[in-house]
Copies of this chain bind each other. A is one copy, B any other.
Amino acid sequence: MSDISKAEFEVLNALWEGYPATASDIIARLNNSKDWHEKTIKTLLNRLVKKQAIDFDKAQRSYLYFPLIDKVDYVAKESSNLVSRLFSGRVAPLVAGFAHSESLSRQDVDELKSLIAQWEKDNE
């Protein structure tokens, strides 16, 4: 399973942006958002390899990293994890929280409506 730390996740996420990618690629991508030392990122890549979250092909000098776990899967697992821990597994109360805090956009609402329509078509 994923026992990926916060920092490790950022690196993995950068890799999901495009792969295979060299360490330098990842470092460049993270340079924008994070203020991490190159060595730090390499350490994190290493730990991700050890955790079997990513792997690499040996190119000439540098490695070509690629993810072993799919972003969609990871995201689904994390979401369901949080929803089950914090909302007894039901997603509506989470959305309710967002509605309350004004964090619900017109776009969200439109998408939700369409999701619901689809769900109802499929489920009855």
Contact = CB atoms under 8 A, between A and B. Distances in A.
B115 A95 contact: yes
Contacts of A106: 123
Contacts of A76: 97, 100-101
Identical copies in the complex:
2
Majority-rule SS of A interface residues? helix
A9 to B, nearest CB: 8
A19 B119 CA distance: 40
Given A90-B105, A105-B90, A107-B90, A97 B75 contact: yes
Interface of A: 9, 72, 75-76, 78-80, 82-83, 85-87, 89-101, 103-109, 111-113, 115-116, 118-120, 123
